[in-house]
Amino acid sequence: MRATSPHSGEALLFLTDEQLRQGIEAMFFAYRGFTADPDRILQDMSYGRAHHRAVHFINGAPGTTVNNLLDILGVTKQSLNRVLRTLIEDGLVESRVGTTDKRERNLYLTDEGKALERQLSDAQRARMRAAYRSAGPEAVAGFKTVLEAMMDADMRRHYRKLREGR
Amino acid sequence: MRATSPHSGEALLFLTDEQLRQGIEAMFFAYRGFTADPDRILQDMSYGRAHHRAVHFINGAPGTTVNNLLDILGVTKQSLNRVLRTLIEDGLVESRVGTTDKRERNLYLTDEGKALERQLSDAQRARMRAAYRSAGPEAVAGFKTVLEAMMDADMRRHYRKLREGR
DNA sequence: TTGGAAAGTCAACAAAGCTGACTTAAACTC
DNA sequence: GAGTTTAAGTCAGCTTTGTTGACTTTCCAA
């Protein structure tokens, strides 16, 4: 039995179950590569992937609030708080009381925080750059199109917003 | 200052740090979507994402050994063993002593295991299919090209081997 | 035939998620 | 101005999934 409907022609060959399965496995293996380099750097320090994510998004949107970060990262307050607390204690992140709304905390990377972010993102970008270069611009465009279509609507909103903000 | 080397023309615009950063964030947000549906199904049962991965790859390569699975999943023996033990106890996976080498265990999904695999992969494929359909075949080709280039060499080997085996 | 290597298992621990209940302070609303 | 809502942060306790190290069984080769 064919995976797609019986009348689907050659034009939809890329939608067969086998093709989809390949895509699933590609995502799995590629994500491992994607995180491998920063993970390696982090394992010597007392930080993990969660710290990387926090540092990444604070760097990309300096002054962001805790609530906004929670929304982007999709974790619970306690989970983020544990990570944020260590980063603040270690002087990588600065938390300033909001100017307009004093309940909020605006988060910034310190110089030390920026140095770590740079180290991690350099490693991650190097792999990304190599992949992009070997695949070529058209493949990269397709790559982004499919990834964007794969996101939940909420995440797509965040993704686009971050893109605009720069 | 330009991100790439000064003499890189328009043809390499897709290699700027900003473009790479977008790709990094796209991977992050998309991976969340990618795992969201199976995760939702699993949270009601007493299983997690690790069980899904084991079931997925046993299904794709019936009779595989524990060692091979360790290599594919990239986790430690104990991490896999815990997962495998519950799956075997619950009758989703069968572990048969190897015929040629009795140190090995060959792993198979039982009918019940196959049913769970089907349920999870149906959900994951549905999202994948929607993303593929909206992006179109050329984008899908580019998507796979970039993902494959992003893998570690070891993982790319596994990826291709699994593809051949079917 | 024995001694090392390989496959698998077990115990104990660490990182990073989660829930739920609670406090504090500021902002909003009526 | 009193009462409610919101943002942030804390505490306690749990789950999943990763880790290392020690152990048994089996195989193979010197």
| Per-residue tens of pLDDT for chain A, all 166 residues | 444 444 445 668 899 999 999 999 999 999 999 999 999 999 888 899 999 999 999 999 999 999 999 999 999 999 999 999 999 999 999 999 999 999 999 999 999 999 999 999 999 999 999 999 999 999 999 999 999 999 999 999 999 999 987 6
State chain A's mean pLDDT as an integer.
92
Is the residue at B112 inside a domain?
yes
Taking Cα atoms as reference points, which of A14, A24, A90 lies closest to residue A51? A90
Is the residue at A3 inside a domain?
no
Is the residue at A73 inside a domain?
yes
pLDDT, position A5: 47
Residues 69-88, chain A: which have Cβ within 8 Å of B? 74
Which domain covers residue A86, as residue numbers?
25-135
* Among candidates A15, A23, A31 on the partner chain, residue whose Cβ is nearest the Cβ of B31: A31
Tell me how far apart the terminal alpha carbons of chain B are, to the nearest angstrom.
49
Mean pLDDT within B76-102: 94
pLDDT, position B90: 94
Burial of A101 (0-12, 13-18, 19+ CB in 10 A): exposed
Check which CATH number belongs to the domain holding B73 and give it. Answer: 1.10.10.10
Local confidence band at B93 (pLDDT 50, 70, 90 cut-offs): very high
Is the residue at B145 inside a domain?
no
CB A52 within 8 A of CB A38: yes
Tell me how far apart the terminal alpha carbons of chain A are, to the nearest angstrom.
49
Is the residue at B26 inside a domain?
yes
Is the residue at B130 inside a domain?
yes
Is the residue at B106 inside a domain?
yes
Alpha helices in chain A (DSSP H): 17-44, 49-60, 66-73, 77-89, 111-135, 137-150, 153-164
Is the residue at B1 inside a domain?
no
Q: Do B139 and A150 touch (CB under 8 A)?
A: no
pLDDT, position A49: 94
Q: Could you report the per-residue pLDDT of B19-70, keeping only the tens digit for each?
A: 999 999 999 999 999 999 999 999 888 899 999 999 999 999 999 999 999 9
Q: Could you report the per-residue pLDDT of B144-159, keeping only the tens digit for each?
A: 999 999 999 999 999 9
* Number of domains composing chain B: 1
The answer to whether B122 contacts chain A (CB < 8 Å) is no
pLDDT, position B4: 46
* Among candidates A32, A121, A131 on the partner chain, residue whose Cβ is nearest the Cβ of B74: A32
Q: Is the CB of A5 under 7 A from strand C?
A: no
pLDDT, position A1: 44
